[in-house]
Structure 1
Amino acid sequence: MRKILLLTFYLTLLSMNLNATDVVKPPLISYKLTFPEAQAHYVTIEMTISGLKQQTVDVKMPVWTPGSYLVREFAKNVEGFTAQANGKPIKAYKTNKNTWHIVNGNATVVNLRYSVYCFEASVRTSLVDVSAAFLSTSGLFMYPDGMLNEPSTIHIVPFAGWKTVSTSLTAVNGDQFTLHSPNYDILFDSPIQVGNQDVFGFETGGVKYEIAMCSGGNYDKERLKNDFTKIIEEETAVYGENPNKRYVFIVHNYLKGSGGLEHLSSTVLGATRNGYSNEAIYHNFLGLVAHEHFHLWNVKRLRPIALGPFNYEAENYTTDLWIAEGFTTYYQAVIVRRTNLYPTRDFLTIMAADMSMVDNQPGTKIQSLVDASFDAWIKYYRPNENSVNTTMSYYNKGAVIAMLLDLEIINNSKAQKSLDDVMKHMYNDFYKVKKRGYTDTEFKAGLENFTGKNLDDFYKKYIYGVDSIDYSHYLGYAGYKVTNELNANSNAYLGIKTMPGNGNNMVAAVIRNSPAWVAGLSAFDEIITIDGNSVADVDKYLTTKKPGDSVEISLLRDGQPMTFKIVLNNNPQVKYVVEELPNPTVEQLAVRKKWMKL
């Protein structure tokens, strides 16, 4: 019996060793980046794939970048694609808009080379010149089809004078110009800044933070570090943990800049170079910081189920961007208020502006929140002259909905719970335990768990529907009401938005159901005179009129003269303000205190 057991053991061991030699090792993928024509905005990429077993391989370029829901067709910027094996050219050709087919035969190593034109200044696209390179990785790096889970190494040969790399990717053996990515989801979520940016950092909650300030600015490093720390600590308190060990802020300073794009362990922000000494501009910047950093939880980890794993070749549809972006927009104001970096009045003004923006957009009565989320790919990022009439912003309306739900939860729980508890619960349940995204139904259930009530009617009216919102009802929980400053305004209303054109005012948009809409004015009409007068500022001219007055507008449409006589009506626009109710109750003051952490 003993001999049989030993024989079985040795045979098993032999089999294991034989099988070990048959294990197929995954390919090794590496990139080398050079900038031989940085002045012309090009980066040249050499991609090497080693350990191939198949006779052919396809490589693909993503068509979009996560966080920016628009198919941008990054392959349009690729030039001069070539393929070699064993030092000789091999057959390679495109099979569709973003796929190159390589015939490598028996060669186990292929070398690909291509250049990418990089000249779009934004947080989501690459920009290369002699001063620096911002590398938005999803628009640069091709990946072998079926190998999204494979690791890769990126070696950057800097242009003359470039000394610094800022990215959340890990440096190999301490060499900042050689980076490692464990898979393509990480690579495409890790932008890279190369140049001479001003880099400084701080640590909070055991997480190391790096701020890379690009293109100068009148910023105060110590103030930034202190204010960033306050924001980060307040956001971490919502979720109870910070899942990062290291996080990078890449800040592009422009003559006039804005916008941001979130990533798993970094973000890219646009800022106004010399705006840091202007309190209003600086407070807006802090709101942007709070927004994009809050995304490291809400979207990058707590996410709609459609947003990961990603299909990089097509749209990834979700009806929940009102949660992903709208709730984050709400929290950017809430978080900055909690830090006391601006007063309560400023927070209420921000919320009033969101409510005003929602109600001043005619498209709010046309497009629901779920439709706005789903159609972001074809509408939100592709606005036209009629978008104001047909669409609404899931950012602003989503923020308003978050405010309503927050107040509902605080009120119903007698100031014991808030929307914070929903976010933390969903983060723990789905990101940490279930390790997947949530469905519409699951998030609604999470909200109902903390509001303590069925939200079918709420969803029917405000999420799936386009009903008007009774803001004062919800703000009344905290002892506030909403009033419209323009209620007593008797200014006349025409209903157009204008822009400069050929030295005259050109119609940019015509508002649905306005006098201009009914009369037949059109976008791109060039206004020559109003009542026979050359008018530099149409809105200012209308302040001399009252509802019921007529104006005669002479214009050119495609070069043809036309005249319209239009009767003006009352201005339907709103400008909300949040005001305190007289003699708020103890209960209302408790809700207020919980809401804003007073």
Structure 2
Amino acid sequence: MKKLQLSALVYLIFFFMSTTPGKAAGIAKISYTVSFPEAQAHYVDVEMNITGLAQPSLEVKMPVWAPGSYLVREFAKNIEGFSVSANGKPVSAPKINKNTWRIATAGLKSVTVKYKVYAFELSVRTSFIDVSHAFLSTTGIFLFPKGMLSQPSTITIKPYKDWTKVSTSLETVKGDVFTRTAPNYDILYDSPLEIGTQDIFTFDAAGVHYEVAMYGGGNYDKERLKVDMAKVIEAETVVFGENPNKHYTFIVHNKQRNGGGLEHLSSTVLGASRDQYNNDRGYHGFLGLVAHEHFHLWNVKRLRPIALGPFDYDNENYTTNLWIAEGFTAYYQNIALRYAGLSTPEGFLGDMAGDINTVENQPGAKVQPLSESSFDAWIKSYRPNENSFNTGISYYDKGAVVGMLLDLEIINGSNGKYSLNDVMRYMYNTYYKTKKRGYTDAEFKAGFEKFAGKNLNEFYARYINGLAPINYNRYLGYAGYKLTDELAPANEPTLGVFTNQRNIITTVVRDGAGWVDGLNVGDQITHIDDTPVTDLAAVIKGKKVGDKIVVTVSRDAQAFKIPVTLKRNDNVKYIITELPNATPQQLAVRKKWLKL
């Protein structure tokens, strides 16, 4: 046995010596230069240099999607002028599919790839360039060599005219703000860049240095934001017990009307309305967005479903757990503000009642299970149509509600010893830090059960994988609360449609009056009972439930008279109210839940 082991060892040493990277196999070195000679026309020029090649051909690819935004966006559609050269001569590089070029590299040690990218969609997930700034969402900018996702790269930025600043989580090279490095492509694709003259302010929180880059102006108060954003960050850090970053970057795009966010490992991009900061509702909304996207640095970027990493950048990455990854994050965006003292108990309960109302007033909640909503994000959530309201439910909204239910179940079941925070911390430590992998459905379910002290098969069957009506009062009752529907006494008639300002129908509500009697999306309502309609809502409000009316619509430039019987508006408007004479146990659960 010893001789056999020695022989094997000698063979392995010889094998590794004969395939030393950089010799027979080769280690490629990859660098990019980005410049903006036509910023006014929304283009970035990219030069990609690859050296250390030792293979007959090399494929370079553009990702088709951006992690965190579950839609194939076909970023290669924005590439123009693709060419490859070596030693000053052109190299054959045919395009072999929608996002891949095959470069003939036989006998070549290095190649230079050049291309332009058109960027004129300012969102948190897509790139935008004009003379005022460049926002580079890196999955849509940088090609990667097939089989080399683990390779490092450097990015040299040649700024346009008076651009002086770069905001990103990528590290500098020798302190040069215009030269950045990424240890691998997962990090590069998780690190957007804001380049221009953005307003930057910084602060420290939870032992981490934070940079906030504001583009587009706005009525924000930097000193107030420093204090309140730090409170949110520190409250969220307590949930997991650590903040794993050394530095973190917020990129904020302020427009007249804007919203949304996209999480990254050590940064995030936020969309905000520039004049929202000096009113309570707008400011609360912005802090909620901060709380949501920042919470993702743990939940989904590190503690993640097993399908979400390592990423396949060519295809969809399916998971049934976005209700945890996104829905729980939506729940924590509300409760983190409560933890931070930036929301009152009543304000938090109002936020949760809003989520409940969204779920309960959407017919699709009775059609699509929560786990299916997650799995079908690629074809439904990010591709809504006029009937989506009737056929689906958001894993954000219902996931947030389910997060609340489980939090209350765990607090009550453990007599106040544990909460959902303990589950999140346990799963983070177990799967991200110890096992260094994502979790499965069954593993997260086991995590819930560990702290709830009970089997959750029925809960999953009813609320995650099924369509059972949610028994809100059971769970709210643990904390001495109940739901009250302020619209319960009402008997208002409804046509069962949504319309725009021109009275054109945009949605027909499942099983509503318009649905039953044949009104269509795209119909323009012109008359009710032969009376011209200017204020449709006022006309319907003047009717009664059960009234039979004749709706005249313009459909494909033709007039149709459609008899419709008005139905009762069954929408709910829940508020969360206190139960009378709450027990000591209910008050203890409430105290734990709301950090009273």
> Could you tell me the TM-score, scaled by structure 1's length?
0.96
List per-residue Cα deviations over 1:444-489 (Å, max 9, x = no partner).
Answer: 0000111111101110000000110111110011110001111011
Structure 1 residue 559, shift from structure 2 partner: 1.2
Decide which moves more: 429-438 or 333-342: 333-342
> Are 1:525 and 2:523 an aligned pair?
yes
Correspondence list, 1:432-451, <5 A: 432-451=433-452
State whether residues 43 and 117 of structure 1, in contact with CA within 8 Å, keep that contact through their aligned partners in structure 2: yes
List per-residue Cα deviations over 1:278-328 (Å, max 9, x = no partner).
Answer: 110110110000000000000000000000000000000000000000000
Code of the residue aligned with 2:436 in structure 1: it is K
1:17 & 1:459 partners in 2: Cα distance?
54
List per-residue Cα deviations over 1:502-557 (Å, max 9, x = no partner).
Answer: xx311101011111001011111111112223323322322111211122111111
List per-residue Cα deviations over 1:428-449 (Å, max 9, x = no partner).
Answer: 0000000000000000000011
Structure 1 residue 586, shift from structure 2 partner: 1.0
2:254 & 2:530 partners in 1: Cα distance?
45
Code of the residue aligned with 1:106 in structure 2: it is G
Match of 1:57 in 2: 58
Match of 1:160 in 2: 161
SS at match of 2:549: strand
1:348 & 1:150 partners in 2: Cα distance?
48
Match of 1:96 in 2: 97
Code of the residue aligned with 2:297 in structure 1: it is L
State whether residues 63 and 74 of structure 1, in contact with CA within 8 Å, keep that contact through their aligned partners in structure 2: yes
Code of the residue aligned with 2:399 in structure 1: it is G
State whether residues 26 and 54 of structure 2, in contact with CA within 8 Å, keep that contact through their aligned partners in structure 1: no
SS at match of 1:150: coil
Match of 2:541 in 1: 543
1:470 & 1:485 partners in 2: Cα distance?
18
Match of 1:485 in 2: 486
> Are 1:511 and 2:509 an aligned pair?
yes
1:332 & 1:15 partners in 2: Cα distance?
53
Q: Which runs of 5+ in 1 are unaligned?
A: 1-11
Match of 1:360 in 2: 361
SS at match of 1:486: coil
Structure 1 residue 23, shift from structure 2 partner: 6.3
Code of the residue aligned with 1:476 in structure 2: it is G
1:86 & 1:23 partners in 2: Cα distance?
22
Structure 1 residue 179, shift from structure 2 partner: 0.4
List per-residue Cα deviations over 1:345-385 (Å, max 9, x = no partner).
Answer: 11111111111111111010110011100000000000000
Correspondence list, 1:420-499, <5 A: 420-499=421-500
Code of the residue aligned with 2:323 in structure 1: it is W
Structure 1 residue 101, shift from structure 2 partner: 1.0
> Are 1:148 and 2:146 an aligned pair?
no
Structure 1 residue 338, shift from structure 2 partner: 1.5
CA 1:14–1:392 in structure 2 vs 1: closer, same or farther (change >3 Å)?
Answer: closer
1:317 & 1:437 partners in 2: Cα distance?
13
State whether residues 551 and 566 of structure 1, in contact with CA within 8 Å, keep that contact through their aligned partners in structure 2: yes
State whether residues 480 and 580 of structure 1, in contact with CA within 8 Å, keep that contact through their aligned partners in structure 2: yes
Match of 2:196 in 1: 195
1:239 & 1:13 partners in 2: Cα distance?
44
The percentage of aligned residue pairs carrying the same residue is 58
Code of the residue aligned with 1:428 in structure 2: it is N
State whether residues 85 and 104 of structure 1, in contact with CA within 8 Å, keep that contact through their aligned partners in structure 2: no
1:216 & 1:194 partners in 2: Cα distance?
15
Match of 1:581 in 2: 579
2:455 & 2:304 partners in 1: Cα distance?
23
1:413 & 1:593 partners in 2: Cα distance?
14
Decide which moves more: 22-31 or 227-236: 22-31
Match of 2:346 in 1: 345
1:15 & 1:591 partners in 2: Cα distance?
63
State whether residues 70 and 377 of structure 2, in contact with CA within 8 Å, keep that contact through their aligned partners in structure 1: yes
Q: Which runs of 5+ in 2 are unaligned?
A: 1-11
Match of 2:588 in 1: 590
Match of 1:563 in 2: 561
Structure 1 residue 231, shift from structure 2 partner: 0.3
SS at match of 1:290: helix
Structure 1 residue 25, shift from structure 2 partner: 3.8
Match of 2:321 in 1: 320
Structure 1 residue 19, shift from structure 2 partner: 7.8
1:139 & 1:455 partners in 2: Cα distance?
41
SS at match of 1:414: coil
State whether residues 206 and 233 of structure 2, in contact with CA within 8 Å, keep that contact through their aligned partners in structure 1: no
